[in-house]
Amino acid sequence: MTVNIKKILTWAGVAFVLYFLFTAPVQAGGVVTGITDGLKGAAEAVITFMQNLIQ
């Protein structure tokens, strides 16, 4: 029987996220907001770059 490390780490990550969500929902919301703000900023930077490239 082989141990699938990727599967174990995936389930451990899911368990940690659920634990974090239930024990600190305000901070979890802040983390999600930070991630989405970062993705939004990255997308806006790519759009600005592409617009300047076309001009």
Residue 1 has pLDDT above 70, yes or no: no
Residue 35 has what pLDDT? Answer: 95
How many angstroms separate the CA atoms of 48 and 42, rounded?
10
Provide the domain count of the chain: 1
Determine, yes or no, domain membership for 51: yes
Residue 39 has what pLDDT? Answer: 97
State the average pLDDT over residues 5-11: 92
| Amino acid symbol at 41 | G
Determine, yes or no, domain membership for 4: no
Residue-range definition of the domain harbouring residue 34:
25-55
Band of residue 50 on the pLDDT scale cut at 50, 70, 90: very high
Give per-residue pLDDT as tens, 11-40: 999 999 899 999 999 999 999 999 999 999
Determine, yes or no, domain membership for 29: yes
